[in-house]
């Protein structure tokens, strides 16, 4: 079965702060542009798999309520390594490295610079 997820959007209230946060945490350079007049920052997936963007619009509102969907980013360099960068960049650890059990790998959850709840996953 093909991957059924193709895109995600993370709402931000301070575009520049959010771009700096995600660049630092994931050690990437998000591609920033305006889409229909709204600041947007793309995660570069180099044509491979799922990707998404930071969105700054009137309909995208950050939330710290984990009542809905949570986006999980891959953390191949290790959950704790990424969580250390989260704290250094001004985020907050919600769930430290934990196991899913049943051979599903490990995860961590953090609050980003905008207050969103974001997950991390690693199979090792």
Cβ–Cβ < 8 Å for 35, 61: no
Residue 1 has what pLDDT?
54
Parent domain of 47: 7-122
Residue 10 has what pLDDT?
94
Residue 104 has what pLDDT?
87
Cβ–Cβ < 8 Å for 62, 11: yes
Which tokens hold the place of 30?
């998000």
- Tell me if 36 is assigned to some domain: yes
- Tell me if 2 is assigned to some domain: no
The pTM of the whole model exceeds 0.85: yes
Residue 31 has what pLDDT?
95
Residue 46 has what pLDDT?
77
Residue 50 has what pLDDT?
83
Q: Residue 80: give its domain's CATH number.
A: 3.10.180.10
Residue 93's SS3 state is strand
- Tell me if 1 is assigned to some domain: no
Residue 5 has what pLDDT?
82
Q: Give me the tens of pLDDT residue by residue for the chain, a chain 124 residues long.
A: 567 888 999 999 999 999 999 999 999 999 999 999 999 999 987 777 788 999 999 888 888 776 678 899 999 999 999 999 999 999 999 999 998 777 789 999 999 999 999 999 998 7
The total of structural domains in the chain comes to 1
Residue 24 has what pLDDT?
97
What Å distances lie between residue 65 and 32, 70, 94, 112, CA to CA? 27, 10, 12, 12
90, 85, 120: which is closest to 106 by C-alpha?
A: 120
- Residue 25: phi and psi, rounded to 5, are -65, -45
């Amino acid at each position: 079965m093909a991957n059924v997820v193709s895109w995600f959007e993370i709402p931000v209230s301070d575009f520049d702060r959010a771009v700096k946060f995600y660049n630092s945490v994931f050690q990437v350079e998000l591609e920033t542009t305006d889409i229909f007049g709204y600041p947007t920052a793309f995660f570069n997936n180099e044509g491979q798999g799922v990707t998404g963007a930071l969105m700054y619009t009137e309909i995208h509102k950050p939330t710290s309520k984990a009542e809905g969907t949570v986006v999980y980013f891959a953390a191949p360099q290790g959950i704790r390594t990424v969580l250390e960068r989260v704290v250094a960049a001004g985020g907050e650890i919600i769930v430290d490295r934990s196991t899913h059990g049943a051979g599903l790998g490990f995860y961590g959850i953090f609050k980003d610079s905008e207050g969103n709840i974001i997950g991390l996953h690693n199979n090792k």
